[in-house]
Amino acid sequence: MAASRAALSCALEQRATVVPPSSPRGKGVMPDGTSRFTLAKDGSTVYHFMGCSTFAEYTVLAEISIAKIDPAASLEKACLFGCGISTGLGAVWNNAKVEPFSSVAVFGLGAVGFAVVQAAKAVGASHIVGIDVNPNKFEMAKKLGCDVCYNPKDHGDEPMQQVLVKNSPTGFGFDYTFDCTGNVNVMRSALEAAHRGWGQCCLVGVAAAGKEIATRPFQFITGRRCFGTAFGGWKTRDAIPMLTDKMMKGEIAVDHFITHRFNGVGETTKAIDALHSGDCLRAVVHYC
Ligand SMILES: NC(=O)c1ccc[n+]([C@@H]2O[C@H](COP(=O)([O-])OP(=O)(O)OC[C@H]3O[C@@H](n4cnc5c(N)ncnc54)[C@H](O)[C@@H]3O)[C@@H](O)[C@H]2O)c1
């Protein structure tokens, strides 16, 4: 018997996280199929980005897109839970379910990778390594919990997975690996750096459209597993208030993520430029 739409929706509510059964978000419209924005000069439609359109001082949101947080929370900090930071934390706590005393390798030390490092440290991972082509990231990575950092550029033609496996605590790879770069070659390294027999590789980075990943099936035959995450497996409505509360209690440090600040919606493009600069983790735009 075919499952009814309502039953499927209910099952997804219980099991899944961020993808509502018939999501209009990918189309840039509200659940009723319309956009609530038009361009003043010619009346043409402007679409909603990810159901929010946050690059505006006022917006219309679907009721399901709203999470109520403690009114005393700093909005500058709480906004960090809108995507990348929550994703990194959830990838560790919800998707991979990293266990105490595990070894963890994190590829890509941007805001998402740093959140992965923090979350792994918080659950008591015993050995955490960070990998990035930008060595300026290493100081902060070590403050947050990385024991060792590697720059692939220091290892010539030797694939990073080889370097990592050789230097892993057992000599057979890492219990958990995370790709936080979105680069499909790095994803391969992350999978192949996972421990023979039980290593788990979590793909967090979003690859460019059309890109494919490659590896030898033997990597799976010999016990590695690979999976991805969307928004760290959180349900936004419950998770964002909970993460905000934890942040307010000092249980999740976030100040270090805000490296740039801008004022007014007109500076949004400056914030995007900052994000591309390589030294920005998160740019917060204050709407006056
Ligand atoms: N799955 C999800 O739900 C989700 C949510 C948010 C972000 N993301 C994705 O996570 C990824 C990371 O986001 P971010 O904001 O931290 O990005 P970022 O650009 O700030 O960080 C990426 C880091 O990877 C490093 N890097 C790039 N190429 C590398 C390579 N070949 N080897 C090692 N390191 C390399 C960069 O130097 C940088 O430090 C992006 O792909 C983003 O789209 C996914």
- Which domain covers residue 45, as residue numbers? 18-66
The string of pLDDT tens digits covering residues 49-100 is 887 877 888 888 888 888 999 999 999 999 999 999 999 999 999 999 999 9
Q: Bigger pLDDT: 253 or 5?
A: 253
Give residue 126's identity as a one-letter amino acid code: S
Write out the two tokens for 59: 């917006």
Write out the two tokens for 78: 């709480």
Cα(179) to ligand 1 centroid in Å equals 8
- Judge if 220 and 241 occupy the same domain: no
- Measured CA to CA, the distance from residue 144 to residue 117 in angstroms comes to 7
Mean pLDDT of the residues in the chain: 91
- Judge if 148 and 244 occupy the same domain: no
CA distances in angstroms from 203 to 89, 134, 177, 275, listed in the order given? 13, 20, 9, 21
Within a domain: 278: yes
Residue from 154, 163, 185, 206 to probe ligand 1 pocket by mutation (most atoms less than 8 Å from CB): 206
Cα(67) to ligand 1 centroid in Å equals 26
Q: 214, 233, 252 — which closes off a domain?
A: 233
Query: What is the predicted pLDDT for the residue at 57?
Result: 82
Within a domain: 112: yes
pLDDT band with cut points at 50, 70 and 90 for residue 242: very high
- Measured CA to CA, the distance from residue 263 to residue 182 in angstroms comes to 29
CA of 232, closest atom in ligand 1: 3
* 50 phi-psi bin (left φ>0, alpha ψ -120 to 50, beta other): left
Q: What mean pLDDT is predicted for residues 23-35?
A: 81
Secondary structure of residue 125 in the 3-state scheme: coil
Cα(85) to ligand 1 centroid in Å equals 12
Cα(130) to ligand 1 centroid in Å equals 13
Cα(102) to ligand 1 centroid in Å equals 23
pLDDT band with cut points at 50, 70 and 90 for residue 23: low
Cα(258) to ligand 1 centroid in Å equals 16
User: Does residue 138 register a pLDDT over 70?
Assistant: yes
The string of pLDDT tens digits covering residues 187-210 is 999 999 999 999 999 999 999 999
User: Which residues are bridge partners to 286 per DSSP?
Assistant: 263
Q: What mean pLDDT is predicted for residues 222-226?
A: 98
Q: What mean pLDDT is predicted for residues 15-39?
A: 71
- Judge if 102 and 214 occupy the same domain: yes
Own/partner pairs, 130-136, CB within 8 angstroms, 24+ separation: 130/105, 130/106, 131/105, 131/106, 131/107, 131/160, 131/164, 132/107, 132/108, 134/109, 134/278, 136/278, 136/279
C-alpha count within 13 angstroms, C-beta hemisphere, residue 63: 1
Residue from 50, 180, 183 to probe ligand 1 pocket by mutation (most atoms less than 8 Å from CB): 180
Helix axes 184-192, 160-167, angle to 10 degrees: 30
- Judge if 90 and 179 occupy the same domain: yes
Query: What is the predicted pLDDT for the residue at 22?
Result: 43
Q: Bigger pLDDT: 23 or 131?
A: 131
Cα(110) to ligand 1 centroid in Å equals 6
Q: What mean pLDDT is predicted for residues 7-27?
A: 52
pLDDT band with cut points at 50, 70 and 90 for residue 25: low
CA of 181, closest atom in ligand 1: 24
With a Cβ cut-off of 6 Å, ligand 1 is lined by: 83-84, 87, 107-113, 131-134, 137, 152, 180-183, 186, 204-206, 229-231
- Judge if 117 and 227 occupy the same domain: yes
- Judge if 23 and 146 occupy the same domain: no
Within a domain: 13: no
Q: What mean pLDDT is predicted for residues 162-180?
A: 98
User: Does residue 136 register a pLDDT over 90?
Assistant: yes
- Measured CA to CA, the distance from residue 116 to residue 85 in angstroms comes to 8
Within a domain: 46: yes
Q: What mean pLDDT is predicted for residues 250-255?
A: 97
Q: What mean pLDDT is predicted for residues 266-285?
A: 94
Residue nearest ligand 1's atom 17 by CA: 110
- Measured CA to CA, the distance from residue 143 to residue 106 in angstroms comes to 15
User: Which residues are bridge partners to 285 per DSSP?
Assistant: 262
DSSP-derived letter for residue 192 is H
Query: What is the predicted pLDDT for the residue at 233?
Result: 97
User: Does residue 2 register a pLDDT over 50?
Assistant: no
Burial 183-219 (b: 16+ CB within 10 A, else e): bbebbbbbbbbbbeeebbbbbbbebeeeeebebeeeb
Residue nearest ligand 1's atom 19 by CA: 110
Cα(123) to ligand 1 centroid in Å equals 22
* 210 phi-psi bin (left φ>0, alpha ψ -120 to 50, beta other): left
Q: Are 118 and 253 in contact (CB under 8 A)?
A: yes
Q: Which of 255, 228, 257 is nearest to 84 (CA)?
A: 257
Within a domain: 168: yes
Residue nearest ligand 1's atom 24 by CA: 108
Number of structural domains found in the chain: 3
- Judge if 176 and 221 occupy the same domain: yes
- Measured CA to CA, the distance from residue 79 to residue 71 in angstroms comes to 13
- Judge if 62 and 90 occupy the same domain: no
Within a domain: 7: no
Q: What are phi and psi of 200, to 5 degrees?
A: -120, 130
- Judge if 148 and 175 occupy the same domain: yes
Tell me how far apart the terminal alpha carbons of the chain are, to the nearest angstrom: 55
pLDDT band with cut points at 50, 70 and 90 for residue 102: very high
User: Does residue 9 register a pLDDT over 50?
Assistant: no
